[in-house]
Amino acid sequence: MGNLRDLVKAGRADSALAFREHAYGKDEQVELLRDISSLANAAAAGRRFLCLGVRDGGDRERTFPGVSRRSWSWTQEALPRLVDQAIEPQISIRMLEVVIGEAVIGVISLEACEGQPYLFRRQVSSLVSAGSGWIRSGVKQRPLLRQDLQQMFEQKVRGGAGSSEIRVGFHGPVPREEITLPVLPLDAMPSVLAARRVEKMLDARQLSKAVLGRTDTRIDRLVHAQVSNEAQAYQSHDTTTLRAMLCQIPREQASADEHYQFEIRTHKLNVLVGNLTDAALSDVLLVLKIPAVKGVGVVDRIRAAPGMQAALQQRYPLVEAGAQAVTVQADGIYIPKGATVNAFREPLRLYLREPVVGKTIPVAYSLNGRGLSGAVRGTLRIVVGQCEPAARRA
């Protein structure tokens, strides 16, 4: 979330970005709900952010006193419940944090607010009655007026203006809605290959003992030369040592297995977004929903090779696994007019295994951002082909 840090440190407060020096206390629940309602109703595209623990002096230097872990924990626990009970329709909220120096900055992120107007379903104070609402305009907030409601409903009637001029799809001469990818089976797992080598050495020792009545190092050396893929000198191991080595393989090869499963045997997938409008689009948020079905998986972080560091981790899209679907998000996308860009700065790792051979996986997407009057929605398709075996076999 490198963009989030930049937003907290250098973003200018506006209708979609608010700063607050202190965390909310239990006696400030009404103020908290009013601030959330104001952001949700703001005339802005894409996500909205409320950053806690930031002293924003306008033209003066911004400082970061931070919030206490205790107060931030209370906000994380209480806010979703308070909002669900007090505001309708439902607002999708994520609780994030950024550490600057030693200060913890709590960030309340409101995902694409497409259900405007957001109104209070019950009276929460003498100043906030049922059916009322608030709106943030610039850096100020006020009660919703009739003209605000009229503008919101007119916006809904117009719908996603420009949606026909936005192209979302997989790589091709133009973004395409369907792509065919093979299954990548795990037929060369490092731990399995290592275990097979040791098992062959064990078999050779047992065979030579059964035939000759003793072990023969010449047979051991021959088997070692045949099964070892490593440039290492022969070492004699007795049966007990080989069995102990066999037991240690899963632990010793754990990192190599992860790298193989979730990096080598994955598809490196990106999504193209084409802007055919006459204006640039900024702060674009792309959200993908991939069904949570057996045989389909999305890697949540880059798995580096053993002994290496995943230097591109910050560039990887945000992945959240749910019971029904895996959600993938890429934010801060800038698309010049007439241009087509990659949505992900680092390609998504997608794996397909044997249970989905021959199936078609629907991938729902939504696109929000500055310059778009509404969400652009659609569905991409991944057609799963036959298995593509690993290059290296045991």
- Please, which contacts does 123-126 make with residues 24 or more away whose CB atoms are closer than 8 Å? 124/29, 124/30, 124/33, 124/86, 125/30
Q: Which domain holds residue 222?
A: 190-256
Model pLDDT, residue 67 = 96
346 contacts 317 by C-beta, under 8 angstroms: yes
What's the confidence (pLDDT) of residue 214?
Answer: 54
181-205 residue pLDDT tens: 999 999 889 999 888 888 887 877 7
Q: Do 279 and 381 reside in the same domain of the chain?
A: yes
Name the domain boundary from 229, 256, 283.
256
320 shares a domain with 364: yes
Residue 393 lies in a domain: no
Per-residue pLDDT of the chain (394 residues; tens, 9 = 90+): 446 888 898 888 888 899 999 999 889 999 999 999 999 998 776 688 999 999 997 667 899 999 999 999 999 999 999 999 999 999 999 999 999 999 999 999 998 787 899 999 999 998 889 999 999 987 889 999 998 898 888 766 654 445 568 889 988 656 788 888 999 999 889 999 888 888 887 877 777 665 555 555 554 554 444 445 555 555 556 778 878 888 998 898 999 999 999 999 999 999 999 998 888 899 999 999 999 999 999 999 998 888 777 666 778 999 999 889 999 999 999 999 889 999 999 999 999 999 999 999 999 999 998 888 778 888 898 989 888 766 543 3
Query: Measured in whole angstroms, how far is the alpha carbon of residue 315 from the centre of its chain?
Result: 11
Query: Do 120 and 12 share a structural domain?
Result: yes
Give the residue from 256, 274, 299 where a domain finishes: 256
User: What span, in angstroms and rounded, lies between the C-alpha atoms of 51 and 107?
Assistant: 4
Residue 394 in any domain: the answer is no
Q: The domain spanning residue 10 has which CATH number? A: 3.30.950
pLDDT of 227: 44
Verify that 281 and 235 share a domain, yes or no.
no
Together in a domain, 334 and 371: yes
Residue 56 and residue 144 share a domain: yes
Q: Is residue 130 part of a domain?
A: yes
113 with 67, same domain: the answer is: yes
Task: Please check whether residue 392 lies inside any domain of the structure.
Answer: no
Query: Do 214 and 82 share a domain, yes or no?
Result: no
Asked whether residue 90 is assigned to any structural domain, the reply reads yes
| Residues 11, 74 within the same domain | yes
pLDDT value of position 393: 37
Domain-embedded: residue 74 = yes
Structure tokens at 337: 């007019």
Same domain assignment for residues 52 and 119:
yes
- Angle, helices 190-212 vs 217-227, to 10°: value is 160
Identify the CATH number of the domain in which residue 299 sits: 2.60.40.10
- What's at 345, amino acid-wise? R
pLDDT at 209: 64
Per-residue model confidence (pLDDT) at position 313: 73
User: Domains in the chain: how many in total?
Assistant: 3
**CA atoms of 340 and 346, how far apart (whole Å):** 16
For residues 176 and 213, state if they share a domain. Answer: no
Q: Secondary structure of 260-280 in the HEC alphabet? A: HHHHHCCEEECCEEEECCCCC
Q: Which residues contact 48 (CB under 8 A, 6 or more apart)?
A: 15, 16, 17, 18, 39, 40, 42, 109, 110, 113
- State how far the alpha carbon of 322 is from the alpha carbons of 4, 221, 300, 327, 377, in Å: 23, 51, 12, 7, 20
| Residue 27 placed within a domain | yes
Helix axes 29-41, 69-86, angle to 10 degrees: 70
Does this model's pTM top 0.75? no
Q: Are residues 220 and 147 in the same domain?
A: no
